[in-house]
Structure 1
Amino acid sequence: MTRAFVFPGQGSQAVGMGRELAEAFEVARLTFEEVDDALEQRLSRLMFEGPEADLTLTENAQPALMAVSLAVLRVLQQQGGVDLRTHATFVAGHSLGEYSALCAAGAFSLPDTARLLKLRGQSMQKAVPVGKGAMAALLGADLEQAQAIAADAAQGEVCAVANDNAAGQVVISGATEAIDRAIALAAERGLKRSVRLPVSAPFHCPLMQPAADAMAEALETVTINTPAVPVVANVTASAVSDPAEIRRLLVEQVTGMVRWRESVLYMKGQGVDSLVELGAGKVLAGLAKRIDKEVGAVSVGAPADVEAFLKTL
């Protein structure tokens, strides 16, 4: 079996995430404490107890999801001797999950990753005034259809494909009025349905340029090591290991499209037949089944998942 470890993005957060892991494994609890210390914030309490509205805030959800993913990895390392070099061919993550993947592979330290994601969340939130941007999932659309709808709906405003998640699940992002026009166009063109997403900002489109600028500045101050295994980058859907290239692609990622469908197909083309999703939720495992049924996927987030996965090694 040839594996890639993959890391979820925003939307997978839920109150209570990581709590069972912290209760069962000291290394998980210490991981959450390390993130709390780096941020000078009791983020773990927010993760375990809520309130949900505060956890959902982009600046909290991003480092929180990363913390759970890294806690799971450290438990696997401690309990089962999991080593990325031995047990994975690639790592990859969806949007903020790319930072989790880089941290898992040793490119970033955990404290640096937490601080970068806190800043990334804050910068993305500030980039566009509330109400001026929106996102929508075009269900039933393929990438080309979504790109055509976004282009026709723009009418001088920003409207772009943000996430190519799987065939039939493409997300667009941009100015609120343009997204409304795109939803109407999608209905006219016979798409199954379109859903406005409950997000606070229009991620992964050119409106995020102020956040990209902030991340470019922040990433210049942080050490990036060569990762233990190559990272499949969101914006290129191909493997990268060079620290300078990683830095450049993370800046592009803020405004660029998350090419998740292509990333999974790239990994399959390189011989990967199993994805191991580390962290909260099961979104990426679900998408894998829609992208290519030949690629197996398992989600590891709770103590029982850890036990089950380690038996497969």
Structure 2
Amino acid sequence: MSTFWAFPGQGAQQAGMLHALPDDALVGECLREASDALNEDVLALDTADALRSTRSVQLCLVIAGVACARLLMTRGHTPDFVAGLSIGAYPAAVVAGALTLSDAVRLVALRGELMQNAYPQGYGMTALIGLEQSVVEGMIQQVHGARSPVFLANINADNQFVIAGSDEAMAHVAALAKAQGAAAAKRLAVSVPSHCELLTASAHSLAEAFAQVCVQTPTLKYLSGSTARPVYTAEKLRDDLAFNMCRVIDWRSTVQTAYERGARLHIELPPGTVLTGLARKVFEQGSAVAFQGARLDTLSALSREEESRHP
């Protein structure tokens, strides 16, 4: 048995999230490292106003995830598997030793700018809860067109999906979903249409920047949130990170892969607890906990217990 660390994506952000990180010298080092790499004070990125920017949101998620993961690692805990939902793949790659935090934040700053510049307004993402995938896909087919683009973007659970596209197209699908008996159709706090072909050109631009950055072979088992499979080489990981913005995220299968390969302790790094709720449906014979709201010594105790079963 082993441990799986999961890093959340956009929509999990919270105002003040960097200021709420544990008061620890290691956290301070991470904040300074990110600030130096960007030549700006990253603590200015987590205000409610700043978080309207895709760039700020993505940077905050990366910094928070890496800082808290490093806190656990300094206590002697190392995950067997790491994965991230969308932008969460970047802190996962840093923790896996494939990318430095400095390179990650520089790439993510560009990623956020490319995404928000491609679709500055009129687009986004909407969660649909309570319907089967085939039903969601059928509704998308009814609505999608050149003037009303809408796509399946995230497969989060058996009855939880996210669509991406224009505001009008998503509203149309949401209305159809409610008519079909959906439990909820909720617009997410994401201002760009991620994980669909609308961002293909932006992904190619990011891939050009990635070609100039040193990416190492991961030292931990890094699971792709797109393919739900392990990524073993630096080149495959480079491709996974650069293009995940325009590929469907299959988080349901990613969590299932970790569980099937022996993971029994799921720890969700900050911010938020949404991934923990999703994981509990899969980790029936294990534990799923979130860093946020938990005591560090509790997480350490759970990790030690799991490590003793899997030396």
Q: TM-score, normalised by structure 1?
A: 0.90
Partner residue in 2 for 1:235: 226
Shift of 1:20: 4.7
Report the Cα distance in structure 2 between the residues aligned to 1:81 and 1:220, rounded to whole angstroms. 33
Report the Cα distance in structure 1 between the residues aligned to 2:69 and 2:92, rounded to whole angstroms. 10
Amino acid at match of 1:135: M
Partner residue in 2 for 1:93: 84
Amino acid at match of 1:16: G
- The answer to whether the 8 A contact 1:140-1:169 is kept is yes
Is the aligned partner of 1:2 residue 2:2? yes
- The answer to whether the 8 A contact 1:288-1:295 is kept is no
Amino acid at match of 2:301: K
Partner residue in 2 for 1:34: 33
Is the aligned partner of 1:159 residue 2:150? yes
Report the Cα distance in structure 2 between the residues aligned to 1:209 and 1:178, rounded to whole angstroms. 19
Shift of 1:238: 0.8
Is the aligned partner of 1:54 residue 2:50? yes
Shift of 1:229: 1.1
Cα deviations across residues 64-97 of structure 1 (Å, max 9, x unaligned)? 111111111222222x122x3xxx2211011000
Report the Cα distance in structure 1 between the residues aligned to 2:120 and 2:18, rounded to whole angstroms. 32
SS in 2 for 1:19: coil
Shift of 1:265: 0.8
Partner residue in 2 for 1:194: 185
> Greater CA deviation, 284-293 or 226-235?
284-293
Shift of 1:291: 4.4
Amino acid at match of 2:195: H
Is the aligned partner of 1:135 residue 2:107? no
Is the aligned partner of 1:112 residue 2:103? yes
Runs of 4+ displaced beyond 4 Å: none
Report the Cα distance in structure 2 between the residues aligned to 1:102 and 1:243, rounded to whole angstroms. 10
Shift of 1:295: 4.4
SS in 1 for 2:182: coil
Report the Cα distance in structure 1 between the residues aligned to 2:14 and 2:153, rounded to whole angstroms. 23
Which runs of 5 or more residues in structure 1 are unaligned?
Answer: none
| Structure 2 counterparts to residues 152-231 of structure 1, below 5 A | 152-156=142-146, 157-231=148-222
| Aligned alpha-carbon RMSD (Å) | 1.8
Cα deviations across residues 161-214 of structure 1 (Å, max 9, x unaligned)? 111111221010112222122122223323233122232111111111232122
SS in 1 for 2:162: strand
Cα deviations across residues 129-152 of structure 1 (Å, max 9, x unaligned)? 411x23211111232222222122
Is the aligned partner of 1:310 residue 2:300? yes
- The answer to whether the 8 A contact 1:216-1:251 is kept is yes
- The answer to whether the 8 A contact 1:264-1:288 is kept is yes
Report the Cα distance in structure 1 between the residues aligned to 2:128 and 2:22, rounded to whole angstroms. 37
Change (3 A) 1:134 1:46: closer
Is the aligned partner of 1:123 residue 2:114? yes
Match for residue 72 of structure 1 among 68, 75, 85: 68
Identity of aligned pairs, percent? 33
Report the Cα distance in structure 1 between the residues aligned to 2:129 and 2:256, rounded to whole angstroms. 20
Is the aligned partner of 1:266 residue 2:257? yes
Q: TM-score, normalised by structure 2?
A: 0.91
SS in 1 for 2:263: coil
- The answer to whether the 8 A contact 1:13-1:56 is kept is no
Shift of 1:9: 1.2
Amino acid at match of 1:6: A
- The answer to whether the 8 A contact 1:21-1:29 is kept is no
Partner residue in 2 for 1:147: 137
- The answer to whether the 8 A contact 1:167-1:290 is kept is no
- The answer to whether the 8 A contact 1:274-1:295 is kept is yes
Partner residue in 2 for 1:255: 246
Is the aligned partner of 1:289 residue 2:284? no
Shift of 1:101: 0.2
- The answer to whether the 8 A contact 2:81-2:258 is kept is yes
Change (3 A) 1:216 1:310: same
Amino acid at match of 1:227: P
Amino acid at match of 1:263: T
